[in-house]
Amino acid sequence: MGRLFWKFFLCILLAQLTATIAIGGAFWLRDQARQKASSSLDSGPPAAVALDAAAATLRHGGEAALRGLLADLRRPQLYVLDAARRDLLGRPVPAELPKEAERQLGNGEQRGAWRGARYLVGPGGERYLAFVPRQSGRPEGMRGGPSDPLTPALDPGARRRIGQTVVIGAAVVASLLFAALLAWYFSRPIRALRSAFEAAAAGDLAPRFGRATKGGDELSDLGRDFDRMSGRLRTLMDGQRRLLHDVSHELRSPLARMQAAVGLAHQQPDKFASTLERIERESNRMDKLVGELLTLSRLEAMPDALRREPVDLTELADGIVADARFEAAESTRILIEAEGVVSVTGDPDLLWSALENVVRNAAKHGAQGGIVTVALCADQGLARIDVLDRGPGIPPADLAAVFQPFFRAGASRTGVDGHGLGLAIAQRVVQAHGGEIVAHNREDGGLRVTITLPQA
């Protein structure tokens, strides 16, 4: 058990004990008030009959006859005290009973037919105090009745003290158990979260909190958020490692070709010019790759640090299509369909780069002699651009992955120049502008790439 457990345990236990003492004290005060307000003498019909019988016996038979009656009478218990306040049978009498009887008689209480106390007058004018105590409050030394004639009854105060002790003891034990349970309940997810933090600090970013706890409280929500965060970090780190591997692989090929060209120049000086052209071409490829990587890195690091100005997408698409027609094969036609002026707010250079990458990708991978269509329209506050080609399409399992850096689809779309960064850059640009880009295979063959952006 850690320190947090004991802090929870002691705080909860203290709160429960305080509540228990407060509630117990309230009940005790109420019980004391009830005891003070209630009489300890019996004023029921049996008590009245016993008192009447004692009065008649004393009046007609004297004290001796009254002693005999008291000795024979078991229920209700009847006490008769002489002027010295001694019981006629010599039984011990709790001091509070005569006082209670005299108080009631002095205050004139119980004036009805049933009375729990009475003054008796003997034949010679002797005065006696008679009373019947309540059966539920028999004092120590009184006989218990026919069922237990030789067993002294337990003092009511002692019974109350025993009952209170049992209740308080049970409350303390229950408080200990409940406090321990609550402390364990609160500290368990925190221990699991601490273990997850320690594992993450050691480099293990695999989600682990959710396996340890399945609660639905805020601590469990915090742990699951940490699992999602660590999972996201793990994905990003894996992506960075893959990106580093892919960059190394992409740079290795042009570097190898440049080294081969340098070696060829040393061996065949007469081909120096063609070799230099080869080196320049590979250098340009590397420069383009590094430029695309820098653009991708800038978009991922600072997606909000963009210029914001009105951009006419129709005019932008016209310029991109004109360049693509110049670069595309003669058998490939590139068409543009625009429904009026479609405008957005954003960075014109980045938007040009994104749309250009998508259009060039369609022109490269479309079928020979096919048609590439760039369609623009405004739809419910969104600017929509569809780029359609007639190529072989992409396997459905790879449609989401085409926007990952250095991804190349199946063999049907390989063998073309490029590094697999164009669509990745396009996605980052569109997302930085609050839009969305998706790819779908067309039913009649080919690929549809749809870009949606908020209108200006």
Question: Would you call 372 helix, strand, or coil by DSSP?
Answer: strand
Q: Write phi, then psi, for 438 (nearest 5 degrees).
A: -135, 160
d(CA 393, CA 330): 21
Per the structure block, which two tokens stand in for 293? 């990587």
d(CA 343, CA 384): 10
Residue 85: count other Cβ atoms within 10 Å of its Cβ: 12
Torsion 131-137-142-146 (CA) sign: positive
Identify the active-site residue in 245, 249, 266, 419.
Answer: 249
Task: Say how far residue 130 (Cα) sits from the centre of its chain.
Answer: 71
d(CA 142, CA 92): 8
At 370, the amino acid letter reads G
Per the structure block, which two tokens stand in for 282? 């590979």
Verify whether residue 245 is a known catalytic residue: no
Q: How many CA atoms lie within 13 Å of 215's alpha carbon, on the beta-carbon side?
A: 17
Per the structure block, which two tokens stand in for 158? 């002692």
110: left (phi over 0), alpha (psi -120 to 50) or beta: left
Could you give the C-alpha distances from 200 to 218, 254, 407, in angstroms and in order? Answer: 21, 38, 29
Active site residues: 249
